[in-house]
Amino acid sequence: MNCPLYIRSVPTQGELKFHYTVHTSLDVVEEKISGVGKALADQRELYLGLLYPTEDYKVYGYVTNSKVKFVIVVDSSNTSLRDNEIRSMFRKLHNSFTDVMCNPFYNPGDPIQSKAFDSIVSTMMVQAC
* Cβ atoms 123, 115 nearer than 8 A: no
Q: Which residues of 67-98 are buried (b: 16+ CB within 10 A; e: fewer)?
A: eebbbbbbeeeeeebeeebbeebbeebbebbe
Residues 51-80 that bind other proteins (CB under 8 A): 52-56, 76-77, 79
| CA 52 vs CA 4, 25, 41: distances in Å | 19, 8, 22
Amino acid at 52: Y
Residues 5-44 that bind other proteins (CB under 8 A): 7, 15-16, 19-20, 23-24, 26-28, 30-31
Query: Of 54 and 123, which has the nearer Cβ to other proteins?
Result: 54
Query: Of 79 and 84, which has the nearer Cβ to other proteins?
Result: 79
Query: Of 92 and 100, which has the nearer Cβ to other proteins?
Result: 100
Is residue 111 a contact point for other proteins (CB under 8 A)?
yes
Give φ, ψ of 53 to 5 degrees. Answer: -95, 150
Query: Of 9 and 91, which has the nearer Cβ to other proteins?
Result: 9
List interacting residues with other proteins (CB under 8 A).
1-4, 7, 15-16, 19-20, 23-24, 26-28, 30-31, 52-56, 76-77, 79, 107-111
